[in-house]
Amino acid sequence: KAGVTQTPRYLIKTRGQQVTLSCSPISGHRSVSWYQQTPGQGLQFLFEYFSETQRNKGNFPGRFSGRQFSNSRSEMNVSTLELGDSALYLCASSFVLAGGLTYEQYFGPGTRLTVT
Amino acid sequence: AQSVSQHNHHVILSEAASLELGCNYSYGGTVNLFWYVQYPGQHLQLLLKYFSGDPLVKGIKGFEAEFIKSKFSFNLRKPSVQWSDTAEYFCAVSPQTGANNLFFGTGTRLTVIP
């Protein structure tokens, strides 16, 4: 079974621009979560999507947004980029049981975003 | 507020030494517990998980962890480490409410010397 894939793998943007990152979950996984990983703050939860709806949200500003498509693929968008947004953005997918409970999350390789 | 503490930031061991990495969490409810590993240049991989039942869980590559509810701990152990275990190890918790958000510890970097 193919793992979680993320595109692009590396990205360089300028302050003030916006960026869109893409994530394809493992086949059959309907929950997709996004995380930000930085040396200073570690791994932090951004949001989770399930059935094309945002189900959970972390403590990030509104510049960070996402969506999920009917095939469970997900995108996240960061508008008005700041230098502090430089990070590794990880996507994770998981299988969802009836009732909405989920199993463990499987992570993709991440997108390394550098903001200059 | 939820939090996960990993007290060891960097651990250096010789091959064949025993390993124990500490993890304590703070959460006002029932949780699922995980250990993830990130080998150099690779992505996060699940090492083991605890949802319910036997508090001693076994994972891949000879790792195991014990959930002690009274201590809010989920320590990772391996009786004999190998050079290939050099990696960063993350403890994580998620609420058992269907919310699929993981709270991670800051990670422990393990260096195994041949």
Q: What is the pLDDT of residues A44-70, one digit of tens each?
A: 999 999 999 999 899 999 999 999 999
Name the minimum distance, in Å, from the CA of A13 to any CA of chain B: 23
Q: Is the pLDDT of residue B20 over 70?
A: yes
pLDDT at site A94: 92
In whole angstroms, give the CA distance from residue A57 to residue A33: 9
Q: What is the pLDDT of residue B29?
A: 84
For residue B44, is pLDDT > 70?
yes
Distance of CA B79 to the CA centre of its chain: 15
**Cα–Cα distance, B101 to A45 (Å, whole number):** 6
Q: Averaged over B7-35, what is the pLDDT?
A: 94
Q: What is the mean pLDDT of residues A81-106?
A: 90
Which of chain A's residues have a Cβ under 8 Å away from the Cβ of B98?
Answer: 99-102
Q: What percent of chain A has pLDDT over 90?
A: 87
Q: Which residues of B touch A92 (CB under 8 A)?
A: 44, 102
The residue-averaged pLDDT of B88-113 equals 90
The arithmetic mean of pLDDT across residues A8-30, rounded, is 97
Put simply, the answer to whether B98 touches A35 (Cβ < 8 Å) is: no
User: To which residue do tokens 């007290």 refer?
Assistant: B7
Q: CB B99 to CB A55 under 8 A?
A: yes
Nearest CB partner across the interface for A107, out of B43, B101, B105: B43
Question: Rounded mean pLDDT of chain A?
Answer: 94
Given a cut of 70, whether residue B4 has pLDDT beyond it is: yes
Contacts with A107 from chain B: Cβ below 8 Å:
36, 43-45
E strand residue ranges, A1-116: 5-7, 10-13, 19-24, 31-38, 42-50, 53-57, 64-68, 74-78, 87-94, 106-107, 111-115
Which pLDDT belongs to residue B2?
A: 80
Under an 8 A CB cutoff, do A56 and B99 touch? yes
- Whether pLDDT at A1 is above 70: no
| Lowest mean pLDDT, pick from A24-28, B77-81, B98-102, B103-107 | B98-102
Chain B positions in Cβ-Cβ contact with residue A56 (cut-off 8 Å)? 99-101
B68/A92 Cα distance (integer angstroms): 27
